Amino acid sequence: MKYLFSAVIGCCFLVLVASFAFAGEQTWSFESEADDWTPANGSWSVEDGIYKLAKGGRAEHSLVGDAAWENYTVEAKVRLDEGNWAGVVYRAQSEMEYYVYYLNVPNNKTELWRHKTGAWDARDKIGELPGSNVTIANDEWFDMRVVVEGDSMKLWINGEEQGELKDETGAGYPAGQAGVWAWETAASFDDVKVSGDAIAGLTPVEPLNKLATTWGHLKQRF
């Protein structure tokens, strides 16, 4: 019985360690400089806790994170200050190879494109989603959340589910960095968060309480 008890404790410890190592999130509030972000093109700056892009050319974006990230959720607050198109990037394999879900002000919809090598504006359209219970406009903050798993890419705006699109072309990107993006638009971004099973950085929810509870149950059984 003594050895069985030790084995059970060891298994519980391994489960807890695994939760520390493999489930996590990384966040950027831009209260200081965005030193770990890499602008691909465009004029970027941090002002008053906001990551800002000056109005410029096509497909201006900045990237962050690990090119090995696969299935994850990316969230960001997005504001279109001047212009019509801005959004979030994910699965960026390089500064020219990535997906972007972006807000379209004139048509009140969100578009999904896969960018590719050749030029900043070399890309293929995957699809679009009409605005559902949202009105996309300038000078307003929008909470965008994209959940990507396999070829499925689900989108929420301000907590309202917009729908799901899939890249079924066979030319998709299986992994890559996250980022923010705009097209001939001055835009502001804040509170970017990337979360997923393989992203380091998260402390599991109340791990000490979980350990204490588990220990209590074990003591009662043994």
Q: Residues 82-119: pLDDT tens digits?
A: 999 999 999 999 999 999 999 999 999 999 999 999 99
70/147 same-domain check: yes
Shared domain for 172 and 150, answered yes or no, is: yes
Q: How far apart are CA 114 and CA 134, in angstroms?
A: 24
**Total domains, the chain:** 2
Q: What gap in Å lies between CA 129 and CA 73, rounded to an integer? A: 18
Q: Are 114 and 210 in a shared domain? A: no
Look at residue 167 and tell me whether its pLDDT is greater than 60: yes
- Is 129 in the same domain as 210? no
Nearest to 34 by CA among 191, 169, 222, 213: 191
202 — pLDDT class (breaks 50, 70, 90)? very low
Same domain, 173 and 67: yes
> What is the pTM (predicted TM-score) of this model?
0.81
Residues 51 and 161 in one domain: yes
Task: Read off the pLDDT of each residue in 68-94 and give the average, rounded to a whole number.
Answer: 98
Owning domain of residue 5: 1-23+204-222
Give the per-residue pLDDT at 37.
98
Do 151 and 214 sit in the same domain of this protein?
Answer: no
pLDDT, averaged across the chain: 86
- CATH no. for residue 148? 2.60.120.560
Q: pLDDT (tens digit, 9 = 90+) per residue, 111-160?
A: 999 999 999 999 999 999 999 999 999 999 999 999 999 999 999 999 99
Spatial CA neighbour of 171 closest among 138, 207, 112, 124: 124
Are 221 and 181 in the same domain?
no
Note whether 42 and 13 are same-domain residues. no
Question: Does 28 share its domain with 111?
Answer: yes
The whole-angstrom separation of Cα 168 and Cα 153 is 11
Residue 9 and residue 66 share a domain: no
Question: Cα–Cα distances in Å, from 34 out to 61, 74, 171?
Answer: 13, 17, 32
What pLDDT, on the 0 to 100 scale, is given for residue 1? Answer: 45
Same domain, 180 and 157: yes
Residue 210 has pLDDT above 50, yes or no: no
